[in-house]
Chain A
């Protein structure tokens, strides 16, 4: 797994993908920081993330769309799947590499906390709790993006599918409460309020595990139908 993590991190950092992702993320967060906090003279760092969660919908595919579809298109999938590494370790390697990029990018948002600290006394605990929830949400999104990338060799299709499903998860609860169980953004909203809720943690983790497992199954299944 470590070999795959190292290689994936190298690919993110040697190509523009990692920088485009981090740059876009921080650019949009900076705009939100100005609009929601600076302009309204608020020091609530966590407010930044109510809007920030929607950013994930659109920029997660930057990180995930190439994960397996590019390997499949270039034929390097053959190198991976004929190596003695298990499919599970390959999938987890890719998932954690994307997760590490996400963690580092999110860690940069603490700069905004520093700026707010200069002007007032924002709660560090609530800020960390929000970041923790945001990370769980991000990992859940990465797992779905990775799954979408495993089912097609076209990166555009993978990203459109990812954004489409995230948008559906976001808007379906407005149509009926029945769909609210699918809304990960709704579940995230407890974290900026300073609450740590076990059911929400379980939801995020099980969503991630489900799509990691589905990715493993897709790759395993393709061996027999390929």
Chain B
């Protein structure tokens, strides 16, 4: 399990990641989405212990990375962005070195290396120098380096970038096979891939987490209108008129005309999220339009992502700095106000103390003068 609590990473005045919080549960495959420079790699680098957060804490399988970095790192298999490899080593030597670095026990090392080579399909090239491999194979070698020794947690930064379609499918299948036995955090630009692979999606933008949910929920929540694909047998073009009869329709577009059976395919766009298929059905029946096919077009994760990211206000770094500056000024003012209040209280207390002493002195004086008079 990975817990990221209030983590911030600052470079001077620039916030690479600002106060992020999320959890990745055991056995989950979680997708980490964001535009370039959103803070994905920074977050992954912090979880793997490559860089330290400026604030906040990261807990991996119960261990705080600040306190027990060795224990945390031993449980993580990391595939960094850009597939860094040692080019003077062969594939097998590289994976063996990774196993040694990860402290895989000597007795198990040979089997662990063999298993990693087999599961990434590197048997044929295991004795080749890594520098002579194609991009796809380099990617696989990097993945093999991450999975060797069977770590509990896998952190994969853009694992399918630069692969051909066949390799992409193979790597996806491999990642799917990690489900249940491993906790996987994947960053990717390919949203369809994340949608297929991941149970949960974390969307990060400008260093802030803007959504954490299942792909389905994100797709539904960001859906504002419905698009219904309808194929009809409509020689008289009466279908376009149903717009006048159903108030929720905002637009009807003709997509395709089938030459063979003269059927027409339309996209019906609605003004809201209501499912108007029943209304379309009854209206078409009333107008003698035969419906051959009708389905709601699903909102893609891509649309959800664009919606979430675009809905955020565009702040320039200068504005962010200004806001931060104003926040800090406000905090200082608050601190100053509290200090002044305390000072005032202390002054008041001193005054009261002085008055009390004065009163005591006066009463003593009166008492002694009274006694003198009596004497």
User: Which residues of A come within 8 Å of B, CB atoms?
Assistant: 3-4, 6-7, 10-11, 14-15, 74-86, 223-226
Interfacial chain A residues near B101, Cβ < 8 Å:
3-4, 79-80, 83-85
B123 interfacial contact with A, CB 8 Å: no
Interfacial chain B residues near A80, Cβ < 8 Å:
101
Contact of B89 among A10, A75, A83, A85 (CB under 8 A): A10
Q: A82 near B98 (CB under 8 angstroms)?
A: no
Q: Interface with A: B49-57, B182-190, B248-256, B295-303, which one?
A: B49-57
Q: A11 near B85 (CB under 8 angstroms)?
A: no
Decide: A14 near B51, CB < 8 A? Known: A79-B145, A84-B74. no
User: Which 7 pairs between the two chains have the least Cβ-Cβ distance?
Assistant: A75-B84, A3-B100, A83-B101, A84-B74, A82-B48, A84-B73, A78-B80
B178 interfacial contact with A, CB 8 Å: no
Most buried by A among B52, B74, B85: B52
- 9 inter-chain pairs at a CB distance below 8 angstroms, sorted by A residue, are A7-B86, A11-B86, A79-B145, A81-B50, A82-B50, A83-B101, A84-B74, A84-B102, A226-B45
- List the B residue with the shortest CB-CB distance to A90: B101
Q: B103 near A76 (CB under 8 angstroms)?
A: no
Decide: A82 near B86, CB < 8 A? Known: A7-B97, A224-B51, A224-B52. no
User: Which residues of B come within 8 Å of A, CB atoms?
Assistant: 11, 45, 48-52, 54, 69-71, 73-74, 76, 78, 80, 82, 84-89, 93, 97-98, 100-103, 145
* Other 19 A-B pairs with CB < 8 A, given A7-B100, A75-B80, A76-B86: A4-B101, A10-B88, A11-B89, A14-B88, A15-B88, A76-B85, A78-B84, A79-B78, A79-B84, A82-B48, A82-B76, A83-B73, A83-B101, A84-B102, A84-B103, A223-B49, A224-B52, A224-B54, A226-B45
Q: B70 near A84 (CB under 8 angstroms)?
A: yes
Interfacial chain A residues near B54, Cβ < 8 Å:
224
- List the B residue with the shortest CB-CB distance to A15: B88
Decide: A78 near B102, CB < 8 A? Known: A10-B88, A11-B86. no
Query: In angstroms, how far is the closest chain A Cβ from the Cβ of B88?
Result: 5
Contact of B82 among A4, A15, A75, A85 (CB under 8 A): A75
Q: A86 near B70 (CB under 8 angstroms)?
A: yes
- List the A residue with the shortest CB-CB distance to B155: A82
- CA separation between A52 and B297, bound complex, in Å? 79
Most buried by B among A6, A7, A75: A7
- CA separation between A75 and B82, bound complex, in Å? 8
- CA separation between A84 and B50, bound complex, in Å? 11
Decide: A226 near B84, CB < 8 A? Known: A82-B76, A84-B70. no
Q: A3 near B51 (CB under 8 angstroms)?
A: no
Contact of B51 among A11, A84, A223 (CB under 8 A): A223
Q: B49 near A82 (CB under 8 angstroms)?
A: yes
Query: In angstroms, how far is the closest chain B Cβ from the Cβ of A77?
Result: 8
Q: B88 near A83 (CB under 8 angstroms)?
A: no
- CA separation between A3 and B99, bound complex, in Å? 10
Decide: A83 near B51, CB < 8 A? Known: A3-B97, A11-B86, A76-B86. no
Interfacial chain A residues near B85, Cβ < 8 Å:
74, 76
Interfacial chain B residues near A76, Cβ < 8 Å:
84-86
Q: B80 near A79 (CB under 8 angstroms)?
A: yes
- List the B residue with the shortest CB-CB distance to A13: B88
Decide: A223 near B50, CB < 8 A? Known: A3-B101, A76-B84, A76-B85. yes
- CA separation between A51 and B101, bound complex, in Å? 41
Interfacial chain A residues near B11, Cβ < 8 Å:
225
Query: In angstroms, how far is the closest chain A Cβ from the Cβ of B8?
Result: 13
- CA separation between A85 and B97, bound complex, in Å? 12
Interfacial chain B residues near A75, Cβ < 8 Å:
80, 82, 84
- List the B residue with the shortest CB-CB distance to A17: B88
Interfacial chain A residues near B145, Cβ < 8 Å:
79
Contact of A81 among B49, B86, B103 (CB under 8 A): B49
Query: In angstroms, how far is the closest chain B Cβ from the Cβ of A43?
Result: 42
Query: In angstroms, how far is the closest chain B Cβ from the Cβ of A69?
Result: 14
Interfacial chain B residues near A224, Cβ < 8 Å:
51-52, 54
Most buried by B among A76, A82, A86: A82
- CA separation between A203 and B141, bound complex, in Å? 45
Decide: A82 near B70, CB < 8 A? Known: A11-B88, A223-B52. no
Interfacial chain B residues near A77, Cβ < 8 Å:
84
Interfacial chain A residues near B100, Cβ < 8 Å:
3, 6-7
Query: In angstroms, how far is the closest chain B Cβ from the Cβ of A155?
Result: 15
Interfacial chain B residues near A74, Cβ < 8 Å:
84-87
Query: In angstroms, how far is the closest chain B Cβ from the Cβ of A93?
Result: 10
Interfacial chain A residues near B80, Cβ < 8 Å:
75, 78-79, 82
- CA separation between A217 and B109, bound complex, in Å? 31
- CA separation between A10 and B11, bound complex, in Å? 37
